[in-house]
Every structure is written in structure tokens, then in C-alpha cells.
Structure 1
């Protein structure tokens, strides 16, 4: 199993590049950037990739509804060329409150939208469509998928799935069986928030204040109900080194091909966590 870093904060650009450099220095395999209402993750991935050699860059995820698949293909191939083809494109339809409430677009039939979008996107990335970018190889494509329909689409049309808030049990009992039923050797990337800390309850409470609103998004609500949880912060693994290391190994045993580590806590706790996962990266 590969271990990478998940960068989803709102820090300045130089900080995100430095986080990429720190991940590489600690022996991590990848850095994935999230799309929130701030930095464009494709641009950040390109800049980080040109500043830091060797490490895989990815998006986790780019929202599909606001970007035409031809435009996204051109952007993704440009990032691939700029980074020496070290780029992985993670996409997803996002959530109704974002697409309708922020972008003002219809979130009608997201599964059908995703299937049509991926079909067009893969054609463009393969060079059989309109886009030509010299020096670019088609990047791998991951789809954010938690439910059975989206997991089927991920297995049929993408190279795997990228999940968030899913526990090892969910990976083993739900994610892997659904995607394995329609795909051969898919990539299953689990984004997980970790903290090596002596104050686990406080870390989760702090995270709940930042991320707790996501617990009411329909797909996350279904996932949390499956896991017997009320808030996404309950999925955070926080505790001493042995506790966090055991959780990472549990994701590997469950069938995750990659764990993307979101660092939570104060600066000292984040540094301790990064050090630990760097050590695990060399052992798993």
C-alpha cells in the first residue's frame, strides 16, 4: 500500500508547495490537492510538481459539473506534461449544496451525469477527441464513489475510486466488493485524517467545528449511517503512534491501495504524524 498526503486546507500557495516538499522528504508516494472554494487544485498540482521532483501529484477531487470535459481534459493533460506525467486526475460530481447552492447549476441525476462525463473525458484524454497536448500521456482517472452505483461507474469507466470518511471495515465490506465486481485491479484510494496526539477528543472536536457540516451531505450521511457514526469527525484516527499506525495497517489489510493522510491537530501534532506515516511508508 502507498501512503500519500492529502492537502485540503486554505493555506497560501507557498505553504502547499512546502507541504509537497515535506511529503517527498518523508518518503511519501503522492500529494493530492482538494477543490474547495479557493485554490484551483490543477494549478497547484502543476506548480508543486514543477517545484518538487519525483512525487506523484493528484486532485482529490475536481468538481465535474462546473467544468466541461473537454476543458478539463486540456487542463489535466497540461498538468501531466508540466509534471513529467506524474499526475493523477481525481474527479467527482461533488454535492448538491455546492453545485446548486454555490454554482447555481442543476444537480439532477448525478450518476447519469458522471457516466456521460467520464465517457467524454476519457475520449479526450486518450487523444481520440479534440485535445492534443505534446508531451502529455493520459493521466489515470479516479472517481469519488461511495454508493453502489457510483462504485460501478468507477470500476467501469475510471481507474479506481477515491474515498473520504470511509473506515477500514467499509473499504473491506463495501467499497472493494462493489468495485472489484466490475474492475480488474482497481486503485482504491482512502483519504483519512490522522493525528498523533495526547488529546484525541479535543482534536476530533476541533475538526468537527471545521468539517462537521459535511456530515449532512447525502452521500456522507448514508456512509456515516452505514458506519454507525453521526459526524465525519468520528472517522478521524487520533491517539499515540501505535494507535495511528494500527489504523493505517488496517486500511492496507482492508484492501486500500493508497492512504491519503490528512494531517489534523496543531503544528507539533501534524509534524509527529507526518514523521510516523513517513516511517510507515517505508515499511508497508
Structure 2
């Protein structure tokens, strides 16, 4: 299993590039950027690729509805060329609350939209469409998927899936069986919030006000119900080194091919967590 860093904060560009550099220095395999209402993740990935050699760069994930597949293909191939083809494109339809409430776009039939979008995107990335970028190879494409329909689409049309808020049991009993049924050797990338800390309850309480709202998004609500949980903060792994290491190993045992570590807590806790992630990256 490969371990990478998931960067979803809204810090300045140099801070985000510094996080990629720190990930590489600790021996992590990758750094993936989330799309929030801040820096553009593809642009940051290209800048990070120029500044930090060797490490895989990716998005986890870019929202599909606001970006035409031809435009996204052009962006992704440009990032691939700029990074020496170290780029992986993670995409997803996002959530009704964001697509309709923020972007003002229709969120009608998201699974149908995703299937059509991926079909068009893969054609453009392959060079058989409109977009041609010299020096670029078609990047791997990952789809954010938690439910059965989206997992089937991920297996049929993408190179794997990106999950969030999913426990090891959900990976083993729900994610892997469904994507494996339609795909050979898919990539299963689990984004996991980790904190090596002496104050696990306090860390979760601090995050509740930041990410707790996501518990009401339909796809996350479904996976939480499956896991017998009421809030996404219950999926945060927080505790001493042994506790966090055991959880990461559980994801490996469950069939995750990659774990993307989201660092939370204060600066000291984040540093301890990153150090542990590097140690695990060398041992798993």
C-alpha cells in the first residue's frame, strides 16, 4: 500500500508547496489536492511538480459539473506535461448543496452525468478527441465513489476510486467487492483524517465545526449509516502512534491500494502524524 498526503486546506500557495516538499522528504509516495473554494488544485499541482521532483501529484477531487470535460482534459494534460507525467486526475460530481447552492447549476441525475462526463473525458485524455498537448501522457483517472452505482462507473470507466469517510470495514465489505466485480486491479484510494495526539476527543471536537456539515451530504450520509455513525468526525483516527498505525494497517488489510493522509491538530500533532506516515510508508 502506498501512503500519500491529502492537502485540503486553504493556505497560501507556498505553504501548500511546502507541504508537498515535506511529504517527499518523509518518503510519502504522493500529494493530492482537494478542490475547495480557494486555490485551483490543478494549478497548484503543476506548481508543486515544478518545485518538488519525484513525488506523484494528483487531485482528490475536482468537481465535474463546473468544468467542461474538454476544458478539464486540456488542464489535466497540461499538468501532466508540466510534471513529467507524474499527475493523477481525481474527479467527482460533488454534492447537490455545492453544485446547486454555490455554483447555481443543476444537479440532476448525477450518476448519468458522471458516466457521460467520464466517457467524454477519457476520449479527450487519450488523444482521440479535440485536445492535443505535446509531451503529455494520459493520466490515470480516479472517481470519487461510495455507492454501488458510482462504484460500478468507477470500475467500468475510471482507473479506480477515491473514498472519504469510509472505514476499513467499508473498504473491505462494500467498496472492494463492488469495484472488483467490474474492474481488474483497480486503484482504491482512501482519504483518511489522522492525528497523532494525546487529546483525541478535543481534536474531533475542533473538527466538528469545520467538517461536520458534510454529514448531511447524501452520499456521506449513506456511508455513515452503513457504518453506524452519525457524524463524519467519528471516522477521524486520533490517538497515540500505535493507535494511528494500527488504523493505517487496517486500511491496507482491507484492500486500499493507497491511503491519503489528511493532517489535523496543532502544528506539533501534524508533525508527529507526518513523521509516522513516513515510517509506515517505508514499512508497508
Matches within 5 A, 1:1-284: 1-284=1-284
Give 1:224 deviation, angstroms: 0.4
SS in 1 for 2:208: helix
Give 1:35 deviation, angstroms: 0.2
Find the aligned partners of 2:36 and 2:228 in 1 and give their Cα distance: 27
SS in 2 for 1:282: helix
Give 1:42 deviation, angstroms: 0.2
Deviations 1:127-175 (A, max 9, x none): 0000000000000000000000000000000000000000000000000
Give 1:102 deviation, angstroms: 0.5
Deviations 1:261-280 (A, max 9, x none): 00010000000000001000
Find the aligned partners of 1:246 and 1:16 in 2 and give their Cα distance: 28
Deviations 1:236-258 (A, max 9, x none): 00000000000000000000000
**What is the TM-score when the length of structure 1 is the normalising length?**
1.00
Deviations 1:35-58 (A, max 9, x none): 011110000000001100000000
Number of equivalences? 284
SS in 2 for 1:265: coil
Give 1:181 deviation, angstroms: 0.2
CA RMSD of aligned residues (A): 0.3
Find the aligned partners of 1:191 and 1:66 in 2 and give their Cα distance: 23
SS in 1 for 2:283: coil
Structure 2: any 5+ residue segments left out of the alignment?
Answer: none
Give 1:186 deviation, angstroms: 0.1
Find the aligned partners of 1:97 and 1:127 in 2 and give their Cα distance: 34
Find the aligned partners of 1:269 and 1:283 in 2 and give their Cα distance: 21
